[in-house]
């Protein structure tokens, strides 16, 4: 006789072994909601599609707790009441979908009702619900996460295998599941099908094969499941200075540079750092390409893109205001462009913002009315939708991003001040490495969860702008 | 967005009751309803919508999978028979059922099931003036059937079109008289996106404060998106 089946807490502890420090972990409804309660440390970002980042363990039996005061509860993907970790924050479902789809989610933990040998899965529905589907965010999680963990009972209802050769119901995700963790076994899904790699205490490989309605190969390294929760901690994101935070920017890198049209909301200190690193061939994505120097009026000159241009570091700019309004006072970028030293791609401001938002949110391309029928639409696909003309614009991503916040906590949660918000939050979502410069670094929990604009999962590095730093040349 | 002069009183966009705020909703209207699993649900407005007696509604919402005990949720509105169709990523809890399941099973309610992120993105596109978006979500499943597919970066993407509705029913914590709004915890959910995607938006709030009463850094939904306000508990007055 095989051993007993694992309880949900033990299954969650085994699933926790798939996580790593600082990972962004999306949890679907059902068993995955057990994970935060089994991990005592604040070492990963749990994400629920209800709009909570950093959800903590379940509060006492909360599915029945729906009531008139429901508005004040924090709910997870399963509708359970949950706590919030220090440094957690709230967001809306559209931003959650961007986190899931835009390559920001490392691991998704789902509870499918069926998984097939090729990684197809059915979410939640079964023969009783028939033709209905209940995808919720499971489809977004599965298609967006780097790794998909199916956490599910091996059989449900009793006697019926949830692991199958081919799904008997329409699938919610095609070929998306990477690993199955059940109440009796751990099974990897690879190109050659299912491989049994672990069994629960008291269960032999034969016991598992006997209740699995799909071919299993037995791993030569088959072992017993363990339930030790790994020790996880958030990586340190605070760098000592701007050069330290930017010294690995490679030659030819694409760099998002925040800012609007003046001193506010620009990462001046990081800009100086990027100049001092000296890396060449940069492609800047920014609203302007630097503003005109005002020295002829005796005013001090603000630090901006021009210091990179003058240092011969800029190969290209993608911008909506690349030129000075005054012919007699061209920007450094304009002069370099006229000399043939730089390339330029001009993009209307809203299109630039939307392209960045799409790049960050996993939208490959979108149809926008802006610029249809003008030079800006030339060479782009045109399409009429419901009688209106649109052009196809592509999502935009970058290698690095330098942005300017007001305050950040050590987890990377950022708040802005006034109009300095501008491009910062959207640019933060689009780069492989995002570096933020702030006036003040605080401990997790010191920024209100309703107040956080850029959640820490988007921020890789934090630099304090020195108190004596001047933004003027 | 509303230019109705009657809305420009000292109480701004505040209406005396949910029913008054929904008096001009027509049979067959499409209605966005915010809320996620009992959090951020406009219960007073849903009850008001039921009281108007309109029929043939299309509801676009998270779903009705957990009935709200003691309150009035999507399942309660569906139970009245006024809803013809629901567009939802989780129409009902598969194990729990409820009126949505019963009416769907008996053919009296049409369900269109869509992945949550796709629905959110379609509404965002509708609100932001985007005609359509190419998303990776659901390629190779029936969620992509009959839709245009195109590879980007070696990965199949599905063309999804923008979605807008006639009305949006929202739930926030506080609004000022102009309609600037803040939410509480996971009550935010669909609200900010839906606020942008309807011809007429009606928000139910715990309190209405004077302009300037909400920190400009904390406003999540800007007043330009909000047409009408009602109080969650109708006896409350402007504080």
pLDDT tens digits, one per residue of A28-67: 999 999 999 998 777 999 999 999 999 887 765 444 444 4
Residues A400 and A373 in one domain: yes
Same domain, A93 and A163: yes
CA A267 to CA A226: how far, in whole Å? 47
Looking at residue A268, what is its pLDDT?
A: 95
Find the CB nearest B152 among A126, A143, A365: A365
d(CA A465, nearest CA chain B) in Å: 21
Q: Is residue B238, in this structure, part of any structural domain at all?
A: no
Say if A232 falls within a structural domain: no
| Domain range for B104 | 11-115+164-231
- Residue numbers of the domain that contains A212: 8-224
Average pLDDT over residues B199-209: 97
In this structure, the answer to whether residues A275 and A216 fall within a common structural domain is no
A439 within domain boundaries: yes
CA A332/CA A311 separation, integer angstroms: 10
B141 and A368 within 8 Å at the Cβ level: the answer is no
Q: pLDDT (tens digit, 9 = 90+) per residue, B11-53?
A: 679 999 999 999 999 999 999 999 998 888 999 999 999 999 9
This complex has an ipTM of 0.94
The CATH number of residue A30's host domain is 3.40.1080.10
pLDDT given at position A261: 74
The total number of structural domains that make up chain A:
2
Residue B69 sits in a domain whose CATH number is 3.40.1080.10
Are A96 and A206 found together in one domain?
A: yes
Count of residues making up chain A? 473
Residues of chain A with pLDDT under 50: 61-71
A469 assigned to some structural domain = no
Q: Which residues of A touch B62 (CB under 8 A)?
A: 93
| Same-domain check for residues A260 and A383 | yes
Residue B235 reports pLDDT greater than 60:
no
In total, the C-beta contacts within 8 angstroms joining chain A to chain B are 236
User: CA nearest A102: which of A352, A381, A426?
Assistant: A426
- Which residues in chain B have their CB less than 8 angstroms from residue A84's CB? 185
pLDDT value, residue A126: 77
Q: Are residues A42 and A80 in the same domain?
A: yes
* A162 vs B235, more confident: A162
Last residue of a domain, one of A177, A201, A224: A224
* Cα angle value B187/B58/B66 (rounded, 5°): 40
Contact A67 B116 (CB under 8 A): no
Same domain membership, residue A259 and residue A218: no
Structural domain tally of chain B?
A: 1
Mean of pLDDT values over B193-220:
96
Question: Does A418 lie in the same domain as A341?
Answer: yes
Look up residue A54 and give its two tokens: 């950093």
Q: Determine, yes or no, domain membership for A58.
A: yes
**Same-domain pairing of A65 and A114:** yes
pTM higher than the cut 0.90: yes
CB contact under 8 Å between B190 and A93, yes or no, is: yes
In a domain, B125, yes or no: no
Q: How far apart are CA B204 and CA B226, in angstroms?
A: 11
Q: Are residues A272 and A151 in the same domain?
A: no
Residue B5 lies inside a defined structural domain of this protein: no
Kindly state whether residues A249 and A385 are assigned to the same domain.
Answer: yes
* Structure confidence at residue B236 (pLDDT): 43
pLDDT reported for residue A298: 63
- Does the structure show a pLDDT above 90 at B60? yes
């Amino acid at each position: 006789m095989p051993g007993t089946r694992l309880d949900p807490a033990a299954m969650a502890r085994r699933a926790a072994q798939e996580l790593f420090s600082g990972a962004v972990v999306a949890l679907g409804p059902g068993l995955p909601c057990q994970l935060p309660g089994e991990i005592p440390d604040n070492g990963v970002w749990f994400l629920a599609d209800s709009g909570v980042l950093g959800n903590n363990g379940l509060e006492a039996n909360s599915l029945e707790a729906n009531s008139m005061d429901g508005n004040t509860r924090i709910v997870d993907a399963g509708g359970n009441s949950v706590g919030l970790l220090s440094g957690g924050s709230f967001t809306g479902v559209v931003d959650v979908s961007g986190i899931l789809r835009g390559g920001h989610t490392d691991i998704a933990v789902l509870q499918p009702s069926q998984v097939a040998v090729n990684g197809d899965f059915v979410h939640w529905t079964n023969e009783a619900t028939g033709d209905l589907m209940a995808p919720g965010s499971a489809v977004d999680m599965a298609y967006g996460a780097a790794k998909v963990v199916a956490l599910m009972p091996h059989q449900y209802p009793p006697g019926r295998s949830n692991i199958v050769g081919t799904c008997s119901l329409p699938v919610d995700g095609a070929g998306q599941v990477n690993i199955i963790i059940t109440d009796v076994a751990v099974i990897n899904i690879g190109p050659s099908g299912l491989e049994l790699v672990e069994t629960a205490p008291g269960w032999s490989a034969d016991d598992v094969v006997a209740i699995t309605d799909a071919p299993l190969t037995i791993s030569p390294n088959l072992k017993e499941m363990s339930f030790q929760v790994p020790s996880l901690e958030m990586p340190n994101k605070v760098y000592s200075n701007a050069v330290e935070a930017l010294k690995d920017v490679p030659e030819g890198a694409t760099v998002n540079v925040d800012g609007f049209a003046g001193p506010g909301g620009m990462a001046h200190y990081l800009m100086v750092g990027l100049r001092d690193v000296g890396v060449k061939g940069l492609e800047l994505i920014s609203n302007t390409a630097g503003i005109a120097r005002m020295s002829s009026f005796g005013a001090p000159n603000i630090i901006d893109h021009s210091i990179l241009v003058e240092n011969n570091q800029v190969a290209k700019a993608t911008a909506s205001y690349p030129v000075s309004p005054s012919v007699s006072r061209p920007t450094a970028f304009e002069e370099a462009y006229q000399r043939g030293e730089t390339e330029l791609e001009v993009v209307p401001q809203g299109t630039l913002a939307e392209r960045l938002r799409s790049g960050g949110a996993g939208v490959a391309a979108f149809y926008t009315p802006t610029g249809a029928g003008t030079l800006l639409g030339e060479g782009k696909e045109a399409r009429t939708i419901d009688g209106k003309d649109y052009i196809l614009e592509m999502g935009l991503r970058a290698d690095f991003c330098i942005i300017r916040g007001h305050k950040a906590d050590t987890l990377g949660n950022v708040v802005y001040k006034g109009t300095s918000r501008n491009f910062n939050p959207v640019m933060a979502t689009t780069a492989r490495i995002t570096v933020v410069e702030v006036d003040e670094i605080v401990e997790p929990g010191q920024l209100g969860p309703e107040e956080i604009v850029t959640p820490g999962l988007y921020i890789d590095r934090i630099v304090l702008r020195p108190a004596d730093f001047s933004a003027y040349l | 967005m509303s230019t109705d002069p009657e809305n420009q009183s000292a109480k701004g966009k505040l209406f005396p009751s949910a029913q008054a705020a929904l008096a001009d909703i027509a049979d067959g209207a499409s209605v966005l309803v915010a809320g996620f699993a009992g959090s951020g649900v406009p219960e007073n407005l849903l009850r008001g919508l039921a009281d108007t007696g309109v029929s043939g509604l299309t509801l676009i919402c998270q779903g009705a999978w957990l009935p709200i005990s003691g309150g009035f949720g999507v399942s309660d509105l569906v139970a009245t028979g006024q809803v013809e169709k629901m567009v939802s990523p989780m129409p009902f809890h598969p194990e729990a059922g409820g009126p949505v399941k019963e009416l769907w099973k008996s053919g009296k309610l049409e369900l269109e099931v869509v992945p949550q992120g796709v629905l959110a993105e379609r509404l965002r596109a509708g609100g932001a003036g985007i005609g359509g978006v190419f998303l990776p979500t659901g390629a190779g499943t029936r969620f992509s059937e009959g839709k245009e597919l195109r590879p980007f970066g070696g990965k199949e993407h599905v063309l999804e079109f923008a979605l807008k509705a006639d009305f949006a029913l929202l739930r926030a914590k506080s609004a000022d008289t102009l309609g600037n709004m803040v939410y509480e915890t996971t009550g935010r959910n669909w609200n900010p996106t839906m606020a942008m995607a309807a011809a007429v938006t009606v928000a139910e709030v715990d309190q209405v404060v004077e302009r300037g009463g909400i920190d400009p850094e904390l406003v999540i939904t800007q007043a330009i998106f909000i047409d009408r306000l009602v109080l969650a508990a109708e006896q409350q007055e402007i504080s």
